[in-house]
Amino acid sequence: MALGELPDYPWDEMAPFAARARAHPDGIVDLSIGSPVDPTPEVVRSALAEATDAHAYPQTAGTVRLREAIVAWYERRRGVTGLTEANVLPTIGSKEFVAWLPFMLGLGEGDVVVHPRAAYPTYAIGAQIAGATAFASDDPDEWPANTRLVWTNSPGNPDGRVLDLAALQRAVARARSLGAVIAGDECYAELGWDGLWASEPVPSILDARVTGGDLTGVIAAYSLSKQSNLAGYRAAFAAGDPALVARLVTVRKHAGMIPPGPVQTAMVAALGDDLHVAEQKERYRARRDVLRPALERAGLRIDESAAGLYLWATEGRDAWSTIEALATRGILAGPGHFYGPYFPEHVRFSLTASDERIAAAASRLAASGLR
């Protein structure tokens, strides 16, 4: 089946609002896409610099050092034990993995890809690339019999929703009953804020308490873009069922989907250093502690948002009206319309702006509100 016409890139619709926000006398506060603004840690930059004599082709499956670092990181940071080098592989960022996974698994016409109702749009795009059908649902009982791939996203983008162990267990059990692969997008797992997740780690879909110690049909995706400010490096990885990993490595070898050698070396450094991750989390915490009350005082209600990089908010009117009001105050955010049809009154606010810009947003909201 040939690739059909894809929808326009949604963020292109933001151009007039971005222009209005930039016209603010004190400049734009960009809380939209969520591109990191803080420096890449020196330990990572040094590792990259020392690896620039990269004359040979890199390894698609990842160097031994990188695979060992991923395995060690999963055990140390996610509580996932028993992984080996056969369970992991590096990817060129996480977005390409999300977009191409249905195709790489051989899905096509008649197959269904399930994803959350409040969803990063690339889940549906990946289904379309493969010729499959996307289906938005948070209830495993709704998943149709021809489901072949299920995406979970915890903490969620855009809504910061966290799936606890019971929810993950239910999702895995249902996917297995359908004969479907289940993939957990866990890219914001280090950023827990509220409730249980203020003190407990966000659980992984690879946790033995979820899988019963059997990774068959289960895979997880993770990114270093936010916790290590490596968005420009395109540094991510996947882990799980060794049979699935082997298939993906074979496809990626044929297609040349290989993280550059210096980036693989930089990833080893990033995965081995927890200090910079803790420091970055505290930066986001401080910004969140300024932005959240400012939004609430301006009349927005914060929903979910217990973890992750965003605040998911609504003032009870169409999101485009809120986006327009924000742009008039020099603030750019993301409308809920970009994340499916179910949340047309919500707006996503990213924490990836400098301390000074977050403070500026709070000051503008305090001065004039949104109405």
User: Residues 106, 178: one domain?
Assistant: yes
User: Residues 244, 323: one domain?
Assistant: no
pLDDT band at 21, cuts 50/70/90?
very high
**Residue 228's pLDDT is what?**
97
Residue count of the chain, please give it: 371
Note the pLDDT tens digit of each residue in 130-177: 999 999 999 999 999 999 999 999 999 999 999 999 999 999 999 999
Note the pLDDT tens digit of each residue in 68-127: 999 999 999 999 999 999 999 999 999 999 999 999 999 999 999 999 999 999 999 999
Residue corresponding to tokens 């949604």: 10
Note the pLDDT tens digit of each residue in 182-201: 999 999 999 999 999 999 99
Residue corresponding to tokens 């999702």: 171
Q: State yes or no: pLDDT of 2 exceeds 80.
A: no
User: Residues 259, 208: one domain?
Assistant: yes
Parent domain of 52: 42-273
242 falls within a domain = yes
pLDDT band at 54, cuts 50/70/90?
very high
CA 228 – CA 203 distance, rounded (Å): 20
**Residue 6's pLDDT is what?**
82
185 falls within a domain = yes
2 falls within a domain = no
**Residue 312's pLDDT is what?**
98
Q: Which tokens sit at 86? A: 């056969």
User: Residues 56, 33: one domain?
Assistant: no
Domain containing residue 335: CATH number = 3.90.1150.10
**Residue 4's pLDDT is what?**
79
Q: Which 3 state secondary structure label does DSSP give 246?
A: helix
5 falls within a domain = no
pLDDT band at 369, cuts 50/70/90?
confident
What value does the mean pLDDT take over residues 300-314? Answer: 98
User: Residues 308, 199: one domain?
Assistant: no
What value does the mean pLDDT take over residues 5-26? Answer: 92
User: Residues 220, 345: one domain?
Assistant: no
Across the chain, what does the average pLDDT equal?
97
Domain containing residue 164: CATH number = 3.40.640.10
Q: Please tell me the total count of domains within the chain.
A: 2
CA 37 – CA 109 distance, rounded (Å): 41
**Residue 1's pLDDT is what?**
64
CA 95 – CA 49 distance, rounded (Å): 25
307 falls within a domain = yes
pLDDT band at 371, cuts 50/70/90?
confident
Tell me whether the omega of the peptide bond preceding residue 155 falls within 30 degrees of 0, making it cis: yes
Instruction: State the chain's maximal CA–CA distance in angstroms.
Output: 59
1 falls within a domain = no
CA 230 – CA 223 distance, rounded (Å): 9
4 falls within a domain = no
CA 256 – CA 262 distance, rounded (Å): 16
User: Residues 102, 249: one domain?
Assistant: yes
Q: How far is CA 55 from the centre of its chain?
A: 32
User: Residues 26, 84: one domain?
Assistant: no
Residue after which a domain boundary falls, among 273, 297, 323 = 273
User: Residues 91, 204: one domain?
Assistant: yes
User: Residues 210, 355: one domain?
Assistant: no
Run of H or E including 152: strand 147-153
What value does the mean pLDDT take over residues 216-243? Answer: 98
Overall pTM > 0.75: yes
Residues 6+ apart with CB under 8 A from 287: 351, 353, 355, 358
Beta-bridge partners for 90: 237
Note the pLDDT tens digit of each residue in 334-365: 999 999 999 999 999 999 999 999 999 999 99
221 falls within a domain = yes
Main-chain dihedrals φ then ψ at residue 103, nearest 5 degrees: -65, -45
Residue after which a domain boundary falls, among 273, 302, 322 = 273
Q: State yes or no: pLDDT of 301 exceeds 90.
A: yes
Residue after which a domain boundary falls, among 273, 288, 315 = 273
Residue corresponding to tokens 């008649």: 110
User: Residues 252, 310: one domain?
Assistant: no
User: Residues 65, 158: one domain?
Assistant: yes
40, 66, 276 from 231: Cα distances, Å: 9, 18, 15
Q: Is the CB of residue 272 less than 8 Å from the CB of residue 103?
A: no
